[in-house]
Structure 1
């Protein structure tokens, strides 16, 4: 396993992040525990979850599954860098969501109970709260750190401007602030290259891409359809994506075939090659899917292949050969 620092912090994390959203709704608790066991065996030490995962409002089903796994002992909690999130509704009352100091306190305590631990390594804001002052948010987070309940803080789904607001407010309080930003990022969704990636690099934040294969579309969906196998491309948003981008996806899969690599591994390897990316979140539903994802760490994409991928999936905001945001500063 390869490891890197999470942003400008001294925290060492694996370059693949175990996503747990499927634990409960898609994967049984027994199989979820097997996946986490195998992840540690493989050296994956960075686990990502959220207080709303599990598809039942206010219950935190996924956090409970992880908590019962931690209870198995054997040093698994100490070997795991645990990341969870708060913001989305956990109930129907007015203060059961967002980032007021009250909700932050309640949400953190509830996550700690479900996870069966006395601290969270990385506590992430699931979304930006445009109505709560940054002084209130950072004061609440400072209290959590002083209490020993949280060590580091991160964001998710922030714009570049939000990162700047957050970091400058933290700086005014002489507080470390954010060390990471979790955002959708893949070959088909490259919008964060416009402002978020430059801002994250400037402030020293590690970037953690979610949906690295665009809901499975970049995971060999056309090949699976031809072979008659189960495919996420047959339902949900993937149907519309394929209808609009079928030729591009086919060209991508052909490129991967020429490389002798699975499309999913190429998509993950491309993210790993991007400056500022800590590691993509993989969301295996089985141990076999988890083990297969490790191949991405050994896929090396040469300049010609990277250029071809840019042709198939053009980066946004280039102007005169300059990348964003410098492309605007003509």
Structure 2
């Protein structure tokens, strides 16, 4: 396994991040335990989850599974750089009218304590805002995060789904509060979603914020899973899939020529961007996880990168050069 610093922090994480969203709803606990054991054995030390994972009516289910895995001991907790998130509503009527989606000092305090309980740990290395909430001031947010930072309950603060302007604002306000600020931004980024190249990725790189791409395979479309059984996708998904079919067929042909799976090529492509620390992989099975490990050793040639760019054109570069004279 290879490692990199998470943004401008001193924390080193594996260049693959184990996503756990499938644990519970799609992957039973026993299989999830096998995947996490295999991840640690392979040197993957970066695990990502969220308090809402598990879905309705069992929000928190995924954190509970991870907590029971930690409880087995054997150094499991000590070997993991743990990341979770706060923002979504947890369906607790006792929180009304503050129980909906959003951020506040009230929510951050309560939901952090609940995550720690479910995860059976006393600290979380990376606590991430799952979405931006522009109705809350940064003074409130940084004061709310400063308390658990000083208590040692969290080590670093990260964001997810932030725009470039939100990253800049967060860092500006953090400096005013004499805080390190954000060390990471978890963002949707893939060959099929290159819009972040306009603003988010350049801003993150300049600010020293490590980017953690989520859905780097776009729900499996970039993993060769673009010809599923009839009825397995919604009409909207099927329409998009048919629209993308010519590109995906060219992509499959290129990967065969290269001698690698579509999933590994797509993941290696995200790793090639200098702003990216680690893409999130979300295996449903142990076999899927094991098939992904070689990605960190996979280097794409300039010719391959050029061919991928022709199949999946980006926005044309960074802003404003992509659209201005």
Bin the TM-score by the shorter chain. over 0.9
Tell whether 2:166 aligns with 1:128: no
The CA distance in 2 between the partners of 1:120 and 1:327, in whole Å, is 39
Corresponding residue for 2:45? 45
Corresponding residue for 2:190? 186
- Superposition RMSD on alpha carbons, in Å? 1.6
Mapping for residues 51-66 of structure 1, pairs under 5 Å: 51-57=51-57, 59-66=59-66
Mapping for residues 80-159 of structure 1, pairs under 5 Å: 80-91=80-91, 92=93, 93-96=96-99, 97-159=101-163
Of 188, 199, 217 in structure 1, the residue corresponding to residue 203 of structure 2 is: 199
Corresponding residue for 1:235? 233
* Residues 59, 314 of structure 1: alpha-carbon distance in 2 compared, 3 angstrom cutoff: closer
The CA distance in 2 between the partners of 1:232 and 1:28, in whole Å, is 25
The CA distance in 1 between the partners of 2:159 and 2:309, in whole Å, is 28
Of 209, 213, 217 in structure 1, the residue corresponding to residue 217 of structure 2 is: 213
Cα deviation, residue 325, structure 1: 4.2
The CA distance in 1 between the partners of 2:158 and 2:130, in whole Å, is 9
Corresponding residue for 2:310? 311
Corresponding residue for 2:258? 259
The CA distance in 2 between the partners of 1:231 and 1:199, in whole Å, is 41
The CA distance in 2 between the partners of 1:250 and 1:40, in whole Å, is 35
The CA distance in 1 between the partners of 2:230 and 2:55, in whole Å, is 19
Tell whether 2:37 aligns with 1:34: no
Give the secondary structure class of the aligned counterpart of 1:271: helix
Unmatched 5+ residue regions in structure 1?
none
Contact 2:130 2:160 in 1 (8 A): yes
Tell whether 2:303 aligns with 1:299: no
The CA distance in 1 between the partners of 2:300 and 2:148, in whole Å, is 42
Q: TM-score, normalised by structure 1?
A: 0.93
Give the secondary structure class of the aligned counterpart of 1:221: coil
The CA distance in 1 between the partners of 2:297 and 2:230, in whole Å, is 25
The CA distance in 2 between the partners of 1:76 and 1:187, in whole Å, is 34
Cα deviation, residue 317, structure 1: 3.9
The CA distance in 2 between the partners of 1:141 and 1:298, in whole Å, is 37
Contact 1:215 1:232 in 2 (8 A): no
The CA distance in 2 between the partners of 1:38 and 1:208, in whole Å, is 21
Corresponding residue for 2:165? 161
The CA distance in 2 between the partners of 1:247 and 1:106, in whole Å, is 48
Unmatched 5+ residue regions in structure 2?
none
After superposition, what is the alpha-carbon deviation per residue over 1:190-231, rounded to whole angstroms, capped at 9, x for unaligned? 111110001101110000000000110011125xx4xxxx66
Cα deviation, residue 57, structure 1: 4.4
The CA distance in 2 between the partners of 1:238 and 1:298, in whole Å, is 33
The CA distance in 2 between the partners of 1:83 and 1:75, in whole Å, is 17
Q: TM-score, normalised by structure 2?
A: 0.95
After superposition, what is the alpha-carbon deviation per residue over 1:76-115, rounded to whole angstroms, capped at 9, x for unaligned? 1011000000001112522123111000000000000000
Corresponding residue for 2:319? 324
The CA distance in 2 between the partners of 1:65 and 1:159, in whole Å, is 32
Cα deviation, residue 146, structure 1: 1.3
Corresponding residue for 1:279? 278
